[in-house]
Structure 1
């Protein structure tokens, strides 16, 4: 599956990075859905990729139904993350499976990998740890948080801290590094 998705991605945009995340990346024996995390190393070619990629996968009859398609383009909302949720079929089969694509700009890709690899228990622990240190963590970054009038952590600041890798995020938070297969907490 990952090879098929990578090959089609390379046909659409040479150099694109496509990772099957979620339970697949964590090495689980079965996967309820497929979480696909995408970027391009140059930091800009990912823009507009998702619509071409989805079209190509539909033409191949791999993608069968759309659930959500949200392209934020160059300067849109959600830090330029494009999203597609749909249903796919494995080649030669009719049973449909949920598939989610998230296309991240290169500068926030590490956060997308962490969030979309999971698991949910680890993500919650990392968010709480970040909050205890005065930050807000989500799939688009690690942001200094502001205090609300009641003394609680409020909204996040607009600019995220920059990290190239998942390990750098773990290290900054002081959380022991876990390889993806170790994240089934």
Structure 2
């Protein structure tokens, strides 16, 4: 059996030791490991409070729901829903087919896992059932980073509330977002309570 000096043996082992510290998936793909996004620091004086005297108007969607939204916010329609926005504040509704109504357990298993894996530094604070005029809903509160500003490349920390409404094989997802620390609790409750299936 051939023997090698101790210093040479140690040198030969270095590549194997280094390789063993890298996950198998990264060894196979030669792709860099994903960088985990860090939460952006909250703004000191966050813009995004919806004024107490804000006027709300009813929006009726061809997708079969209605909702009160802040008057004057920009609207963007998409095939599966609609988004209203003003600076970093957004209100979005998406409708998709869904065979069964959501439960707290099913939302945690599917929606929350998807949100945490695909969102930007998402931290979920609660998932709970809530009775609203449109019926039983599941509410999720979470913090996340915004998309980077196209000019400054800066992201800000957001707080979000997401509601899942279900009726007759359709799931509506209502998401409201604002800079972290903005005081929109009453206005968000107004909008969540205003959601109705047509």
State the TM bucket, normalised to the shorter chain. Answer: 0.3 to 0.5
Which structure's CA Rg is the greater one? 2
Give me the TM-score of the superposition, normalised by structure 2: 0.34
Of the two structures, which has the highest relative contact order with CA contacts closer than 8 Å and spacing of 6 or more?
A: 2
Write 1 or 2 for the structure with the bigger share of strand.
Answer: 2
